[in-house]
Chain A
Amino acid sequence: EIVMTQSPATLSVSPGERATLSCRASQSVSSHLAWYLQKPGQAPRLLIYGASTRATGIPARFSGSGSGTEFTLTISSLQSEDFAVYYCQQYNSWPTFGQGTKVEVK
């Protein structure tokens, strides 16, 4: 099983600021990496797939980068609706998720 590790566990950011979230895989997953956002009581929503491709309807302030074992999700200017938990997920083999990064208001 490929283990996905996200950091930090919690990120405190002011609205309008930039947020950078990290995800590391225990072995190479090539570019088979997706990012999701989840708000309390809601289902996850796909943000990024293929490590860097934005899903349909996702604003340009969300960007993904990386390949192999190191990945980054950047939110260029945090909006109020972006405060949530973010998960990375690899699909190079049977899917596994990171433990999540909570982005909270500073």
Chain B
Amino acid sequence: QVQLVESGGGVVQPGRSLRLSCAASGFTFTSYGMHWVRQAPGKGLEWVAVIWHDGSNKHYADSVKGRFTISRDNSKNTLYLQMNSLRAEDTAVYYCAREGGAVADYYFDYWGQGTPLTVSS
């Protein structure tokens, strides 16, 4: 069965960096675009970034553009999110999610359990 397992969250000071990982299994990772979606405490969902199945295209929400970098290692079935210059407003649970549809049909059919990030001094 499809499994997405995030890791790497924690507590970090403003301005610092952190890298999240998402280990995928149970499907052909190289066939799917992958996304990061976040949810601030008590708030709704915010799309963060997408990377195409082959890593050839990446796109970001304006709120993280220039600070976050999405990447993937298809040999390891793993998705990453490198987060630099972290701010308090980046505090959230970060979910990795599999793209559900055809290329650029950006809805999400499987989600990981999420990894929490707190940015605080």
User: Are the C-beta atoms of A46 and B100 separated by less than 8 Å?
Assistant: yes
Count of chain B residues with a beta carbon within 8 Å of a chain A beta carbon: 21
Residue of A nearest to B107 (CB): A34
The DSSP consensus for interface residues of chain A is: loop
A14 on interface, CB distance cutoff 8 Å: no
B61 at the interface (CB under 8 A from A): yes
Interface segment out of the listed B13-21, B72-80, B82-90, B109-117 = B109-117
Contact (Cβ within 8 A) B107 A43: no
The interface residues of chain A lying within 8 Å CB-to-CB of B100 are 34, 46, 49, 55
Q: Is B61 within 8 A of A97, CB to CB?
A: no
Chain A nearest Cβ from B92, distance in angstroms = 13
How large, as a class, is the contact surface on chain A? 20 to 34
Which residues of A91-106 have CB atoms within 8 Å of chain B's CB atoms?
Answer: 91, 94-100
Q: Are A91 and B107 CB-contacts (below 8 A) given A43-B112, A49-B100?
A: yes
| CA of A56 to CA of B1, assembled, Å | 13
Chain A residues whose C-beta falls within 8 Å of the C-beta of B45 in the assembled complex: 36, 44, 87, 89, 97
Binding site for A on B (CB under 8 A): 35, 37, 44-47, 59, 61, 95, 100-101, 105-114
